[in-house]
Structure 1
Amino acid sequence: MVLILGRRLNREDSGTRDSPAVKRKVFEVDSKTLTGNEVLEFSSGSSHSEAILQVFNEFRDSRLFTDVVISVQGREFPCHRAVLSACSSYFRAMFCNDHRESREMLVEINGILAEAMDSFLSYVYTGRAKITTDNVQFLFETSSLFQISTLRDACAKFLEDQLDPCNCLGIQRFADAHALKQLASRCRSYALANFPDVAQHEEFLDLRRDELEEYICSDELAIGKEEVVFEAVMRWVYHSVEPRRPVLKDLLHHVRLPLLHPNYFVQTVEGDQIIQTAPECYQLLHEARRYHVLGNEMMSPRTRPRRSTGYSEVIVVVGGCERVGGFNLPYTECYDPVTGEWKALAKLPEFTKSEYAVCALRNDILVSGGRINGRDVWMYNSQLNLWIRVASLNKGRWRHKMGVLLGKVYAVGGYDGQSRLSSVECYDSFSNRWTEVAPMKEAVSSPAVSSCAGKLFVIGGGPDDNTCSDKVQCYDPEEDTWALRASIPIAKRCITAVSLNNLIYVSGGLTKSIFCYDPAEDYWMHVVHTFSKQVMMTSAMVLGDFHFNFRAAMR
C-alpha cells in the first residue's frame, strides 16, 4: 500500500484537474512586503545532544546496534564505533584507518584497569564521570591514553584539590611523570609552603637525592628556623644510612648551618654520630663556627636567611641631624631592599652627640665616641630591639672610624679637640673590654676603614684641618704592626670603604669616581665615574660620619 500525502482540491479547482501543469498555492505573499523574518532558526540546545547520548547509552546497556566489543582484563564492554570515534582521536585512528581492529568485532586493550575503562565509557556516553581518590590515577592514565583532554584535566584538577602534606610529594612525582607542569608546580609550591609537616610523612623518606636537594636549597622554603631543615635531612639519611651516607656532605651544603642557634649547633649537629664520622663535612662545620664568632665578616650562600624565617638583610641608618648645624637626631631606622619598606627601630638613648663612629658586629650595631671627646659606647641588640651600654673607650674621640676584623672592633684615629689621633683601640665583646693596640703610622681623622683578607685598612683621612692624606695604612692583627701600602690615587677625607670579594671599593669625598684596591696585588684601579661631587660628598658624610649601612639578619 502506498500512502500519498497531499491536500484536497476545492471545487473551484476541479475545473483544472485535467491540467497537469497547474501550480498549486496555499497562500500568496507579496515579495515587496518581506521583512526577513520568513525563516525561523530553531535549536533545542544541549538537550538534543544529551538526549541522543542517553539513547546511545541505553543502546549500549542493551547491546543494541553495538558493533565492537572492547576487552579489558578479560571484561567485555560492548560499544559503538561511531560514538568512540566521535569522542576519542585514539579510537578514530583505530577504526577509521586500515587497522586490523577496524575489521574485528573484539578489540583487546592492555595496560589499563577494567574499572577505569568502565568509568571512561560512562563519561563517553553520558559526559559525566565520578572521580574519586581511589580511581583518579587510573582514570587519568586511561583518559590520557585515549586522548580525552577534558577528562584528563578534570582528574588533574581533582588531584590539585586533594593536596595534603602526606600526598603532595607523590602527586608531584605523578605529575612530573605525565608532564603536568601546572600540577607539578602547584605540588612543589605546596610542599615548600608546608615543609615542616611534609617532612614528617613517609613520602618524604622516599624522595630521591635530587628531589630533596631541590627543596632544601630553595629560598622559598617555609620554615620558622633552619633547624627544621637540618632535622629533615638527617631523618632522610638515617632512613637508609649506608646508601645515603655518601651524599650527606652534598645535602648539608644546602643547609644553612651558620644560622643554627649556637647551642643547637654544638649539642645536636656536632654531636651527631654520622657527622662525627664524616670528615668531608668538617669544612661546613668550620664555616658555621666562624660565622658564630665573626658574624657578617664571613659571608657565604649559607649565611643568607631564608625569607620565611622572618629575617632579612636590611640597611640600618643611625642618627644624623635634621639640617646643617641643626639638632642631632636619636632615630634608628632600617630599610628592607626586598620589600622596599622602612621600619623604625629603638631610639639611640641619651645620645645627642655628632660625628660618632658606627659599625656592625655580627648581628648587632656599635656606636662609639662623638663630639666632644665622647667615650660612651652603645650596642644595639637586634634580637631584643634594644640599646645596651657597653664598656667605654679608653680615650674620648670623634671624627674617628670603627672597623670589624676577625670578630673584634677597632676604633681608629679621630680628633680630641686639639690634634688628630694615631691611637687605635680594640674591643672584645666576649670580655667587654677595650685595649690599646699599636698606633697608626700617621694620625688622621675621617678616614675610610675596611677589613679585607685578614687585615685592617685605613685609607686617606685628614692629618690636619687643611690637608688630606692619600696614604693607605694596613694593620696586621697577628703581628700588631702597621705598614704603608700603595697610596690611593686621590687624597681625600670623608670617604667610605667597603670590602667585597677580597677587594676594597672606595667612594665619597669631593670626587666623582669609585676606586678599587686589590690587597693581594697592592694595586689601585679606577672603576667608574658616579654622580656629582656634591652628591658624593653628601653620601660620604651620610655613610661615614652620621649614618652607617648595615646588612644583617633581623626580625
Structure 2
Amino acid sequence: MATSSSQILALQRNSSEQNRFIEKLMTKICSFYDEKSLIDVTFKFSNPTALVPAHRLLLAAASPYFENLFNGNQGTNPVIEINDIDSDIFEHLITFCYTGHAPITVNNVATMLNAAIVLQLDDAKNHIVDYLMTHIDEYSLQGAYRLERETQCEVLRQKIFEYETQNFMEISRSDEFLKFDVEKLQRILVSDNLNITREEDAYDAIQRWYNHDVPARQEQLPLLIACLRLTQFNVNFLMTQIQPLPGCELLAFKALSWIREPTVRPLINIRFTEPRGVSASNCGEKTILALCSEMNLKLLRYNKTEDKWQEYASIKMDHELYRTILKDDNLLFVGGNKGGVTCNVVRSWNIRNKTWQNLPAMNQARMAHCLVELNGEIYAIGDYHGNNALSSVERYTTSDGWVFVTSLNVERSYAGAVTLNGKIYAMGGYNGNGGLKSVECYNPDSNTWTFCADMTNSHFLPSVAAHKDHIYVLSRRGAERYDPQQDTWSQICSLEVGLGWMTCLSLDNKLWAIGGKSKSVGNSCVSVFDEENFCWVEKCSFPESDVRSCFVVPESLLSSM
C-alpha cells in the first residue's frame, strides 16, 4: 500500500488539487506539533536543559539520521538523550522539519550548519548556506572560509566558489586571497564565469599571489598560468610577461604558435583557445557527440539542422572495455582491458585539437566501473575481477591524483552512476551472484554512501541520465525514473533495445535515447521522451549499432570539422 501511495503522489505532484491536499496535511501535522498532540518521541538535553517533543514518522522522512536512529537499538525509547547539539539549535531544526523554515541569524548560522550536517538535514543545510551567503557582508568572507574548512560542507564550498568568481576583482586584492592553496586558485581561474573585464586582470592576480611567497610557489606558477586564456594576449605580452616566468616558456611558445600559425593549430595541445564564456560547459548551442565501437573508435556528431549524424573523428585504440567521461574540452579514457589484462591507465583526448595526453593512473585497475564528475572531481566506482564485483571507489583531482574514498555498501560491476544535486547515485549492475535492484547515494560532505529505494527491476549495464531533477534508467529490462525528493521509483514507457549498447542524456530540456531499436525499420535510432504523452518518439536513424557513450557538447567545440 505504501509503495502504491508514493507512486501516485509522485505522478500527481504538480496538480493543484494534490498541492492543496499536501498543504492541508502539513498544516494539520504542524498543529499537532504546536499542540504537542500525538507525540511519540521526546529528546532530552542538558545544554541547556530542555525537552523537545516530536513525531518519529515525520523526522524519519526528513532525515536518514533520524531514520537510522529510530531503527536502532535505542530508537524505540520514548525519551532519547542528545548530547552533542545545543537544545535551542536542535529545536530550530526540528521546526524546520515541520515547516521548511528556521530562525537563522548571523550569530547562530555556524552552529545551525554544523547541527544540520550532523542530523543529515540536507534541505535545512541548503537553506542555512543560502542565508549565510546573502548575509556575507555581515558574517564576513573570512568567517565563511573558516566555516567551510571546519564543516567540509560541499554546498557551502560551491556557493563560496560562485561568490569568488563573481567578486574576483575584490577578493583578489584581499589578504585572504594570498593564503589560497594552488588547487583552490586553479578552480577559480579556469572558470568561464570569472567576472573580469580583461584576461590581464587574472594575470595580475596570479602575480600578486606568486610574489607573496616566491620560493614556495615557483613550481606552482605554471599550473596557474596554464589556467589563463593565453591566446587572448597579444604577442608582445606573451613574450615580455609570460615567457620570462619560471616554467612558463613552453606555455608561451604554444600560445605564440597558435596566434602566428593558424594552419598548425590542430597539432598544438593548449588548454584554452577561446575567450572566457566559450567552453564545453557553457557556450552557445549544444549538440551530441557519440562514441561508437571500441578498438576502432568512431566519434559521431549530431547535426540538428539536418537531423542526421556526421563523423567527427576516428581513433585507433589498443584496448577495450574502458570507460569515458567528458572533462572540460577533453574526453578521458579510464581503465579497460588490454590483451586480457585489466588496466589502470588514464588518457585524455582533446576534442578541439585531437591530441592525446597521459594522466596519472588509477590505484585500482578497472574495466567494469562507472565514471562520474562531481564538483570538478572524477570518481571511478566499482569494478569486476574474476567472479567478484568490487566496491572500491576512488576520486581524481589535479593536485592529489587518484585517492580512495569510502567504498560502496554493495559490490557492483557494470552498474550505472549519475550526479544530481551535488550527490552521486550508483544503481543496478552485477555483484557476482546476479543482477542488482539496489541504489545508493554518495554525499561528498560526509564521505558516506547511503541506500535509497530499490529500483523496480534489476538493470545490467543501464544507461542513466539526470533530467529535470529526476534520474532515468534505461536497459533491456525496461525503463524507470527516480524522484529523489520522494525516494521513489516509477516505471515509464520502455524502448526496444537491440543487441548493441544504448545511452541516454538530457539536451534542450528533453530526454534523449541514442541506440535503441527502431520499431519502424528495425535498426538503431534516436528517440526523445514525450513527457506529456508518456511515450518515446523516434527522431532519426542512428548509423551505428554499438554506441558506447554520448556527451552534450557545444557546437563551437566541433567547429573544426
**TM-score normalized by the length of structure 1:** 0.41
Who wins on radius of gyration, i.e. which is larger? 1
Work out which structure has the larger RCO, using CA pairs closer than 8 Å and 6 or more positions apart in sequence. Answer: 2
Greater strand share, structure number? 2
